[in-house]
Amino acid sequence: MDFVKPAARHPQAIAVLVRHLGGFGLFLLAIVDSSPIPTFGGLDILTAILAARQREPWYYYAGVATAGSVIGAYLTFRIARKAGLDYLNRKFGQRKVARLLMYFKRWGTGALLVSTVVPFPFPTSAFFAIAGALDYPLRTFIIVVALGRAVRYGAIAAIASHYGRRFIVGLRHPGRHSGLLLAIAAAVVIAMTAAIMLRKRFPSRRHAVKTGAT
């Protein structure tokens, strides 16, 4: 994709381009952010900027970002499911795919959920694609992505609405703000707890279905 290279050279240009569109621009960027096209944290920053302006309630922007991200994740999931692992190796590189496959096969739902909550530079779209290529259950995939993204963008929008510009600067320079890192760590703990609950719930259902069938 030739149009990916200009975006990669100017990561902030994407957010600047769609900022004046408000919620609609945020929705479009959220779809792109969940695809292999890099936005370099542009969705997090734009969500914070719009929430800090307070033209709409913070949960409006959190909901828009979550909805767009789920749609983008679904599209990536479907494409990878049809294309298979060869597509992933071409798109992300064989070495990276092999490493992510190891994580995904070991942690499953937990790896997927944490990847949706932890801010950049986590390769979230790669996890979406791997889930599709490995034929991960679609219903579970949508639930996990929606839950993780709601936690992530809900936290970003709520904090930005309260702290404003200081939080936006923190997103652009996370190393200077230990409080942000603590918030991320707390989100990861919440995500892992939810992942454990999901792993206990869904396998038990599948086992019950198989037992009933026999």
Contacts 24+ apart (CB under 8 A), 10-14: 11/38, 11/39, 11/40, 11/41, 11/42, 12/40, 12/42, 12/45, 14/39, 14/42
Residues 6+ apart with CB under 8 A from 123: 92, 96, 100, 115
Name the packing angle between helices 85-92 and 124-133 (round to 10°).
Answer: 160
- pTM for this predicted structure: 0.72
Read off the pLDDT of residues 132-183 as tens digits, 9 standing for 90 and up: 998 899 999 999 999 999 999 998 899 888 877 666 655 555 555 556 555 6
CA 142, CA 138: separation in Å to the nearest integer?
6
pLDDT digits (tens, 9 = 90+) for 64-81: 999 999 999 999 999 999
pLDDT, tens digit (0-9, with 9 covering 90-100), for 86-139: 878 887 788 888 888 888 888 888 888 888 887 656 668 888 999 999 889 999
Residue whose token pair is 């790896």: 111
